[in-house]
Structure 1
């Protein structure tokens, strides 16, 4: 494998050339993280500089750097996790997970329309008043809940147009593993949550598009067995000219 190290294009690898400011054409081998269907949606990597572990989501864009020992090294080129850093993974895993299929660059819009409010008995927290809504994605209408907590701490997302961000980190500690157990082999990436930017340019507003039966002001996909449709759509898209930090637009109406 060639050694196309994107950070070092400025002649670091050409030791026989005495001109430190010269530039050389380098062919960069670009790949994208892809994962098997029955997965939690994250792959662990190790930072080259510190050895710290990070988790990267699907369709993260990377540039291959080198193979050394049983490790494959690559630079993270987009998204919000370890961007610009050189990381590594086991070379056997790299052959499976680092593929050439890119994300789709387009201005896609998910549409959410408010519906009725009604009480439902939650197996987790008893009777809860739900603000229902319909999420339209890929031509499919999917039931979501916009809020289940009414103690003035949380409110449904107000009407407007917002940006949905790329996943920020694994939300495995938020007890969504049970959905994978209830729907064995059918639910993927239950701990991949997509942050919603409510105020332009402000970043993560602690509201998410995610799987679940209860909502703290998020867009919570209540149709559990249709979560994969939402996940596959969002994870495979990136808004143009955002360095992979945003995946789609969200339009909320009443």
Structure 2
């Protein structure tokens, strides 16, 4: 039996986010799937709750949904255990002709998650500002905010079933604290991230990561990213 009054969010549409209303200000906030909330009260046709975990700036704030939307988008089912993501680089960087971005010098790797294997790029910008993610055991964080400022429309348009492309997973590099400004995300350009280049596999990678969490009260970490030599 779950904790009394604890629910977990679900996405409202294929962006991957659930829009809630912050109490007091009336401003909108957007929560990723499997964010834990603590129910407070139901009044005036609205369900009020505290945003109880995650990496968004809204953790600890009170928010609400209409009672109908709360019944639809708040679930008793929480996340499973930590994700394990294996990344195996191969070969030297080579030029590929992206149908979306043109010629790019890519450092290729394969990523393996829960039986899914996908081609990823670890870097495609070589102006000395970015480098491929180093070997090690890093931590994957829960999504922080929408990355809709990066246009992924062309990817979705040409990839049936692709969704939640605005939901990126920050990486905390081994030996560091917090977001290291690297992410697991879909696309063909990588600035030192783990960029899922094989777009048809993004949704499966997303579904696995978003439904995973390292046990703990703050829900800040999804799992582990193991990068081999």
Which TM-score band applies after superposition, normalised by the shorter structure?
over 0.9
Structure 1: gaps (5+ residues): 1-26
> C-alpha deviations, 1:28-76, integer Å up to 9, x for none?
311111236x611101111113222211000001111222223221111
1:179 to 147, 155, 173: 155
Q: 1:99: which partner in 2? A: 75
What is the rounded CA distance, in whole Å, between the counterparts of 1:65 and 1:203 in structure 2? 30
Task: Could you list the structure 1 runs, at least 4 aligned residues long, displaced by more than 6 angstroms after superposition.
Answer: none
Pairing 1:29-178 to 2, within 5 Å after superposition: 29-35=5-11, 39-81=14-56, 82-106=58-82, 108-116=83-91, 117-178=93-154
Report the structure number with the largest CA radius of gyration: 1
What is the rounded CA distance, in whole Å, between the counterparts of 1:191 and 1:66 in structure 2? 31
TM-score when scaled to structure 1?
0.84
Distance 1:126 1:183, change over 3 A: closer
State the secondary structure of the residue aligned to 2:90: strand
Asked if 1 retains the 8 angstrom alpha-carbon contact of 2:84 and 2:226, the reply is: yes
Q: 1:195: which partner in 2? A: 170
* Deviation, structure 1 residue 176: 1.1
